[in-house]
Structure 1
Amino acid sequence: MNAFLRMISEADQSAIDHLVREWEKQVRELAYDAEDCADTYWLRVRRPMAPPQLPHIIVKWPKYQLEKLLLRRTLAAYVKALLARTTTVSERRVHYGNDRAALPRSPWLAPVSAAASVSANALGRDDPDDQFVGIREQVDTLAERIKADDDDRSLKVFSIVGSGGLGKTTLAVELCRQLEADFQRQALVSVSQAFDGGKDMKGLMATVQADCEPERRWYLIVIDDVWSIPAWEAIRVRLPENKCSSRIIVTTRIETVAKASSVSKDLVHHIKPLDLDDSKKLFVKRVFGSMGGTCPDGLKDIMDSILKKCGGLPLAIVSIASLLASYNSAESVEMWIKVSNSISSQMESHPTLEGMRQMITLSYDYLPHHLKACMMYLSTFPEDYVIAKDRLLYRWIAEGLVAEKRGLTLFDVAEEYLNELISRNMIQPDKLRVTRKTLQAEMGEACRVHDMMLEVMVSKSQDANFVSLVGRQYGGRSPCGKVRRLSVHANDDNERVSQNKGVEQRYHARHGIEAMNLQQVRSLTIFQSEGLEKLLNRLGEFKLLRVLDLEDCKALQDKHMRYVCRLYLLRFLRLTGTRISEMPSEIGDLEYLESLDVGSRMYMLPTVTKLHRLERLRVPWWTLPWGLGNMKALREVDWAQLKGDVQVAREIGELQQLQVLYITVVEEPEEEFSGVLCSSLSKTCALRSLHLYSGRTLDSLLHVSSPPPLLQHLTMMGPISQFPDWISSLKHLAEFSVEWAKLAADQLLYSLCKFPSLQSIRLGMRSCRDRELVARTTHSFRALRILDLYLAGEHPEVVEFEQGSMTKLETLLLKFSDKERRVVGIDNLKSLKEVKLSGWENNPSLQRALQQLKEENKNRPESSQIKVVVQYG
């Protein structure tokens, strides 16, 4: 069954008719039910009921045996029914003639795509002027880079990369038009399905080089929409190198293709979405007919809502504006609201939006089979939701969407999946503010989905019964068929969404989640903080649940946790932002649990050490217990306390899979504690991130004999007498943070500048004990990009950057306290692109630094101006 579903996924979607699609749904539901049957067998038979105990064993034993027999007979009947359904579905395929041979494979599997060529000179400016709104600056910048004469006459390849609908082809065609005088030989090649590399490229090159002497054969060719590196290589080897300053422009949606095409990152242009002003200009022009037109006041809020969903995608803006062009009066407010609230269904039913849907869907159709499910899974989350990276990856793993690869953990494979989707511009990388109890707030890795892409994913997900959505624009309707994954979204507060709250609530109670059959649900996600007590009281019905994500669900109470601890198939449990205060001892019965993220301080019983499959454990201020060494699968221990216990310190060394360790040492440690802890840290060979905090001293770190060789992130918070010598051996260290250490300034920077991979340094409060902190010319910092300085406490009073220091620094963060501070030599940071200043508005040190930056920008060319961000407070 899974093989068939993969075959459908990899087939050319245009070749799949309604009969095949219906058959696919039946096979998918059958596969789900087969998995549920196996899980049910484990719950009821492999994990049997507890046998009766004395003194009533003689009376109750026959009843116990009878119940076991009935369970087995029930499951046997269910398996028999599944086999009968399988036979019926198979016969139906033969009856309706669904043949594998009739399903050609998708073009993305072909080693190379086809190309159709057309002269770029033949593409006149017949397109409306509004097509070029917002890209003029990008055209001018790229044109200058293409024409730049750097005495290198070899062939150069420029890449334009971005998601579908951003206007890559439009930008490339406008570039050709603007460069007609410089490149009179031009062509545009649109990559499609059956490309003959030899024949087509030979004909193309003959066209652009015809009737031209060899020394004058310089050309400009646009190769549009390249989907794979093999496709590009097949084209690249047939491009002649005539040392005539010829140029190639490749457009692609995939980052790795752009990097493979262009030898230098300076030749890769990431096309930018339109900003809000340009989005409004384009929308108003298309709806109201002129660039100087205005939107009626009654429609402006709805226009802003639509543009927010469009997210700067020109194709989306033009498509929706064209749909609304016939409804451009103030009386058309209902139509505008309807379009704003139902873009997904409008894309399916309205011909005007069909092109936009096809453009966005094309990126999805070209995904490998294993990434399609991961992409559909993102429909679980609401619009504009920033998804923490670890949260998403562990959910994918818990749902069984990540396949094993030899030599890699499932988390590593999931990370590959995420990077591939980002590379294909299907999702956008982002940052999420994470506040830790022992550390300063920091920005964690995250991602988000463009609203238009999310609309398509929601549509596909609901068609496949992959995720069922309730709330907001999805209303309170009960999804068709069995509910496999349930996501409850918060209701929209906008009054126009619901004019009658009472009617909606009654409808929701009668037809919504309270009326659903929840026995087949395998994941439950709630984004509504209040009003779901009835649903939470039914948690015991979710017998097959694998993922339970209740972040910020204020309705969750301690009494509900006894239901949670009976969900024996649970693999992912997230309770951050809830009000529960105690974890039941039965938490140790969830033997399949892989990720436990509580996020709020609570009493945690030692029975958690029974969770031998647990990989991620995040419980703030939880005291690490004896028996920690039994949790061999642990990859991440976060926010934990270590109370100076020698036994627990020793057991940390037994966690050979441990990659992330955030611990705070509290209370007075036992005499041999420091040596044991250092010995344990030396044994954690897989450790990537180490964060240690102590209010007393971190001198125990001076005695680490052999540090974790793969360490990439190191944070030290607490007094320490000197910079540990062993840190200099960390060849992979990328981020370093220190606070309260009171180290000598020269010793600190001299030691840090030697690291070949160090990209980010954070010097927090009282990290330095000297009056001056000077980045000297000899401090090369080969890879440093980010420097974060918290100028609080008595020292340093002066921060200075000498000429030639930190030559690659791009971002400087300066946080000022009420003390007098001076920052000298910012003009010596030649690669600096952004400075973030924070502090009180009347702080003279901050204002002086701000003025200094303004003066520095006056001396810089327009292309290398420093972006200055000021945050007061």
Structure 2
Amino acid sequence: MADKCWMKEVRELSYDIEDFLDEIALAADAMLIAGKVSEFRERAQEASQRRRRTRYGLCHPTSRRSSRRRCSSSSTRRPPPRFGADVDVAAADEVARWVANDDGEEERGLKVAGVVGAGGTGKTALAGEVYRRLGGQFERRAFVRAAEKTDLGRLLRDMLSQLLGRHHKHLQDHACVDTPDLVKFIRESLYHRRYLIIIDDLWSTSLWNYLRRAFPEDNNSSRIIITSQVEEIASSCCNYHSGSIFKMRHLTTDNSRKLFSRGVLGSKDGFPGHFREISADIINRCGGLPLAIVNAASLLASQLAVMDEQEPWNIYNSLASNLRRNSTTEVTGQILNMSYNNLPHYLKTCLLYLNIYPADYTILKDDLVKQWVAEGFVDVIKDQDLEEIAGNYFDELVERRMVQPVDVYYDNKVISCTVHSMVHDFIAHRSIEDNFIIVLDNSQNSIEISDKVRRLSLHFGNARYAKTPENISFSQVRTLGFFGATRCLPSVAEFKILRVLILYALGEKRGPPVVDLHIIGELHKLRYLKVSCDSRIKLPTRISRLKCLETLEIEAKVTALPSDIVHLPRLLHLRLPDETNLPDGFGKYMTTLVTLVAYLDLSGSSIENVESLVDLINLQDLHLTCCNLQSVQLLWETMNTFGFVIESLVNLKSLSLAVGFLNGTSSTDHFSSATTRMSWQMCTPPPLLQRIDLSPHVCTFSTLPNWIRELGTLCILKIAVRKLGDGDMDVLGGLSALTVLSLHVSDAPEERIIFREAGFPVLSYLKLRCSVANLAFEERAMPRLRRLVLGFRAAGIAEQQPGRTPVGMEHLLSLEVVTARIDASCANEADRMAAESALRNVVKARNLFGGIAPVVNIRWVDRQITSTEESKTVGEDQPADYPTSKNEFSGRRIIESSSLPGRSFTCHNPGMKLHERVPMTPWETVLVLSESCFSMFSGPETGFTSTPAIFIARGAILNNSLEILYNGQHINF
């Protein structure tokens, strides 16, 4: 207790000194300064004497040096734990069989399963493993977390965003929607589709009863998996069907040993010599609980680098004395407490900071890194960037299993995380003890609050009338987090010394149409500002007064972008929303920028404005959203200039060009066919480039650019070419650092695309889109490839095998998942069977030779989709936005004529065959028919040009009737 009091005392002293220095910087007063300095000296002396009396040391110096060494170098760090590493394989297989079983009419209906078990037994890991294995077989899928005090609106938005991918952008034109509308949108997006939904850590049957309204019951073999710590809740969700309830079992001794060994040594191999007895007893004391085992393993692993022969026994004795065979919660809690106490001080601070986010949040690494730097948590190390050090802090928290990875890119970089509910409860308790962060929700107005609140986080969720308690003084709050409705926002004018401001605000139909944030301009000490809001916001007109601002991220529509934004002297990171143009010539003023994520009107921007990017000499990360094609000639000039600009940015590490949305519509609709021939030339590319991500609708090269071969540090490449030239694959295979490759080839290759033995030594993810899958994989090719994603046409495959199907996939010995999206247009049944057989042969071949067979997910579509594929979220190949049903409307008799308000259409060929379906909004679908079956006239009422064979429909043709959704009205014929 004495050590905690001393640390708290020193922390408060340091805060007071920093606040005072800020105060005198604004108005110096000699008498005030002298008095305060005397006070601080006296407090420091008292703290020092108290420390000597308690003979307390911060941490073992060897341990600190070890931790610092790990944080300063990521090259020796073990890969992050992967989804499925902690799971009982037999249990995952059992649930996977339940998901895949669709034999019989009853099994083809919507089914709900409940996975039940105490905290720390591996429910989330099991659900995640099933999701990873089988998610690609479903047209729509989502994995959401429902904490004990979950925000229903945010949960629904998260689900909708995962289900619709980029199409979720359309909801920006319908902002401030209430939860009933979100339920409706989700239901419409799942209508007539096969879907997989996982709801993790459910705590309430009432929440389930509300959520179930969003899930249509059909015969598409859709599945929902619920995990819960409460058996009654899990049973209720699946209507007490015993065959759909899966109870978590504690791990067997053998599986516990493997998990512990993997956590300590990075492999399943047993412990050598004197470690064997220690590990066996620790494993036994963990009682088969995955969370306890992995945290005990990480505790031991964190000390291995500096251990002498005696130290393993010291750790063992500490574990043995603290771990007793108590309940699940107590055993795991004891290990968490020991793991926390073993952390170096800077990791303790960073871990406690996660309490600023609600329990079920998915937190971006990039956000945490910038926030930790702004807070001053990062210790300076010579010749190292502060954000690089902070990134290593994050990686070590992952390695120590204090946070759980959510999105892991295929170069093993964790880019988002969540906090296990038990860990979150632990850090919430410690935060209150240390007065580190005060968290308030709508039910905690009576919580005991320190007289000095340094960090405040308001978790108001869907509450409409929540407010901050009046007994809180804002004068010393340096960090404010807000998660709730816009009407509940506190007045930030009262937070005079605020350094970090995080606003996640949800608009309401009855709330203000514009959220006025102009008062932020008075927060002169602000270093970090992030605003995420589905209402329009008003920024300060004189934002340049924020002289200390280093990070500005706006994820909301703005009434106007302040023109003086270019005069923020310390701005390092700038993120702006679509359709927000930067001022002309911004580059020559914003030379401090390291990150720029912004909108660029390719054909509307002046050449001078594009050229101004050259002045961003410190830029490392450039992500441009390209919209609004108007002039092809200007586009050509812009792209040529752009190549010159990129060549000049010598510090650039990441380059991305994406297709944005214009007035709620994907800008691919505004790009002409000429766009796909655009490219640029460079003599010498930036030497530090690690990532290139180019949308095919912005840039498609005629062949692979020559400058690609010079990028020895390139890790991620997403590129489109019209055709592959001789030797292009050898060039790509020679990129020694390449871990992710996404390649779109427009023209069918004349020769086989061969992946040779010596190429792609570290590639772990390959996506290849080409009209013909004329591929060959040599023995020992791509030894680390884990995921293969293919897109090709099936037509003619049966007649031209093997020249049109992949061969040699059995040589990919590390392959875990194969996902294929196959164009079925003009293909007969023989073509379909030949295509599927070629892909599934890899499973047969692997089983034949005793290897572990990869999961094969095959999706049939009516055409190849390329417009938005390259912008999918990280890590996984997301489910298609298009249905795979086999022409479910074929053969139906459609009414021969009818009319819509102000418009009419006529069916020229009843009984036509559905050619394809393209989503336009979450509740509308455009049906494009293989023959000219309908005529729609153009006009301002429809917003469409005159295009035969297109009409807006919900997709419901039942009992010889057609249901149309037109301007929000359902019309039945």
Task: State the TM bucket, normalised to the shorter chain.
Answer: 0.5 to 0.7
Q: Displacement of 1:787 after TM fit?
A: 0.8
Residue in 2 that maps onto 1:648: 609
Residue in 2 that maps onto 1:372: 348
Residue in 2 that maps onto 1:586: 542
Residue in 2 that maps onto 1:860: 846
**Conserved? CA contact 2:477–2:498, under 8 Å:** yes
Residue in 1 that maps onto 2:712: 731
Change (3 A) 1:678 1:548: same
Change (3 A) 1:657 1:807: same
| C-alpha distance after superposition, 1:228-260 (max 9, x if no partner) | 34434x449x9xxxxxxxxxx99999xxxxxxx
Q: Displacement of 1:86 after TM fit?
A: 5.3
Aligned 1:176-325 pairs, distance under 5 A: 188-189=277-278, 225=300, 227-232=302-307, 234-235=308-309, 319-321=326-328
1:388 matched to 2:364: yes
1:541 matched to 2:499: no
Change (3 A) 1:768 1:732: farther
Structure 2 distance, partners of 1:549, 1:81, is 31
Q: Which amino acid aligns with 2:250?
A: V
Q: Displacement of 1:108 after TM fit?
A: 6.4
1:135 matched to 2:252: yes
| C-alpha distance after superposition, 1:692-751 (max 9, x if no partner) | 369555888543121101111112332333321111111111111124x42337665343
| Residue 563 (structure 1) aligned to one of 503, 516, 519 | 519
Structure 2 distance, partners of 1:782, 1:722, is 23
Residue in 2 that maps onto 1:742: 722
Size of the aligned set, in residue pairs, is 619
| Residue 564 (structure 2) aligned to one of 595, 600, 607 | 607
Residue in 1 that maps onto 2:687: 709
Structure 2 distance, partners of 1:670, 1:854, is 44
Q: Displacement of 1:467 after TM fit?
A: 0.6
Q: Which amino acid aligns with 1:835?
A: V
**Conserved? CA contact 1:379–1:458, under 8 Å:** yes
- Secondary structure of the residue aligned to 2:535 is coil
- Secondary structure of the residue aligned to 2:429 is helix
**Structure having greater relative contact order (Cα 8 Å, sep ≥ 6):** 2
Q: Which amino acid aligns with 1:784?
A: L
Structure 1 distance, partners of 2:264, 2:541, is 50
Residue in 2 that maps onto 1:553: 506
Q: Which amino acid aligns with 1:485?
A: R
Root mean square deviation, CA, Å: 4.6
Structure 2 distance, partners of 1:558, 1:632, is 32
Q: Displacement of 1:600 after TM fit?
A: 3.5
Residue in 2 that maps onto 1:575: 531
Change (3 A) 1:468 1:720: same
1:87 matched to 2:42: yes
Aligned 1:482-521 pairs, distance under 5 A: 482-491=452-461, 512-521=468-477
1:760 matched to 2:835: no
Structure 2 distance, partners of 1:427, 1:591, is 34
Give me the identity figure in percent. Answer: 24
Structure 1 distance, partners of 2:275, 2:636, is 78
1:34 matched to 2:17: yes
**Conserved? CA contact 1:784–1:808, under 8 Å:** yes
Change (3 A) 1:89 1:702: closer
Q: Which amino acid aligns with 1:231?
A: V
Q: More deviation in 849-858 or 561-570?
A: 849-858
Residue in 2 that maps onto 1:657: 618
Change (3 A) 1:186 1:788: closer
1:619 matched to 2:576: yes
Aligned 1:630-641 pairs, distance under 5 A: 630-641=589-600
**Conserved? CA contact 2:493–2:522, under 8 Å:** yes
Q: More deviation in 475-484 or 719-728?
A: 475-484
Structure 1 distance, partners of 2:57, 2:708, is 56
Change (3 A) 1:699 1:250: farther
Aligned 1:652-691 pairs, distance under 5 A: 652-664=613-625, 668-669=633-634, 676-691=641-656
Q: Displacement of 1:865 after TM fit?
A: 2.1
Change (3 A) 1:803 1:413: closer
TM-score norm. by structure 1 comes to: 0.61
Change (3 A) 1:368 1:769: same
- Secondary structure of the residue aligned to 1:681 is helix
- Secondary structure of the residue aligned to 1:691 is strand
**Conserved? CA contact 1:561–1:584, under 8 Å:** yes
Q: Which amino acid aligns with 1:685?
A: V
**Conserved? CA contact 2:59–2:344, under 8 Å:** no
Q: Displacement of 1:549 after TM fit?
A: 1.1
Structure 1 distance, partners of 2:323, 2:459, is 25
**Conserved? CA contact 1:780–1:807, under 8 Å:** no
Q: Which amino acid aligns with 2:581?
A: T
Q: Which amino acid aligns with 1:715?
A: D
Structure 1 distance, partners of 2:777, 2:341, is 51
Q: Which amino acid aligns with 1:654?
A: D
Change (3 A) 1:139 1:106: closer
Structure 2 distance, partners of 1:816, 1:426, is 42
Q: Which amino acid aligns with 1:400?
A: G
| C-alpha distance after superposition, 1:258-312 (max 9, x if no partner) | xxxxxxxxxxxxxxxxxxxxxxxxxxxxxxxxxxxxxxxxxxxxxxxxxxxxxxx
Q: Displacement of 1:784 after TM fit?
A: 1.6
**Conserved? CA contact 1:551–1:578, under 8 Å:** no
**Conserved? CA contact 1:470–1:476, under 8 Å:** no
Q: Displacement of 1:617 after TM fit?
A: 1.1
Q: Displacement of 1:681 after TM fit?
A: 1.9
| C-alpha distance after superposition, 1:148-184 (max 9, x if no partner) | xxxxxxxxxx954169xx9x9xx99xx79xx9xxx9x
Change (3 A) 1:692 1:190: closer
Structure 1 distance, partners of 2:712, 2:733, is 12
| C-alpha distance after superposition, 1:86-112 (max 9, x if no partner) | 536745875xx6525722453463699
| C-alpha distance after superposition, 1:53-99 (max 9, x if no partner) | xxxxxxxxxxxxxxxxxxx66x95487367447536745875xx652
**Conserved? CA contact 2:786–2:814, under 8 Å:** yes
Change (3 A) 1:91 1:520: closer
Structure 1 distance, partners of 2:43, 2:62, is 32
Q: Which amino acid aligns with 1:860?
A: R
Q: Which amino acid aligns with 1:362?
A: M
Structure 2 distance, partners of 1:416, 1:800, is 39
- Secondary structure of the residue aligned to 1:637 is strand
- Secondary structure of the residue aligned to 1:516 is coil
Structure 2 distance, partners of 1:474, 1:702, is 58
Change (3 A) 1:636 1:112: closer
Change (3 A) 1:37 1:837: same
1:827 matched to 2:783: no
| Residue 394 (structure 2) aligned to one of 400, 418, 431 | 418
1:598 matched to 2:578: no
Q: Displacement of 1:646 after TM fit?
A: 3.3
Residue in 1 that maps onto 2:378: 402
TM-score norm. by structure 2 comes to: 0.56
Structure 1 distance, partners of 2:837, 2:716, is 30
1:457 matched to 2:427: yes
Structure 2 distance, partners of 1:387, 1:476, is 28
| C-alpha distance after superposition, 1:479-535 (max 9, x if no partner) | 3322211112245x9xxxxxxx9xxx99x65xx54542222111111222x2x5253
